[in-house]
Amino acid sequence: MNALHDLFKVSYGWVIIIITVLIKLLFWPLTQASTRSMKRMQALQPQMKAIQEKYKDDPVKMNRKVMEFMKEHKASPLGVAFQCCFKCRYLLGFM
């Protein structure tokens, strides 16, 4: 932050705004991918609920069918979590 303050000769308030904009621009592709993945999971949610209801008595078979369904539709619940953890690691580095 001090380097940006010295480079641009602006107040620390503006430096914070500059850093915020830079971080948003750097993580835009990850945010976009995460949003797409969440929307895909939301669209598939009713079908996954139907599978869970159909196989509610056999949890092993239910998990297998849900995973097959997710592979078939190229959806991953871990994709969103991974991207969130990746972003948090770098955001915490600024503190």
Whether pTM > 0.75 for this model: the answer is no
91 pLDDT above the threshold of 80: no
Taking only the tens place, the pLDDT of each residue in 51-64 is 999 998 999 999 99
- Distance separating alpha carbons of residues 4 and 26, to the nearest angstrom: 17
The one-character DSSP state at 58 is -
Taking only the tens place, the pLDDT of each residue in 14-69 is 988 988 898 889 889 888 888 888 888 889 999 999 999 999 899 999 999 988 99
Token digits of residue 83 = 């991207």
* pLDDT on residue 80: 66
In this structure, which long-range contacts are made by residues 70-73, counting pairs with CB atoms below 8 Å and at least 24 apart in sequence?
70/44, 73/40, 73/44
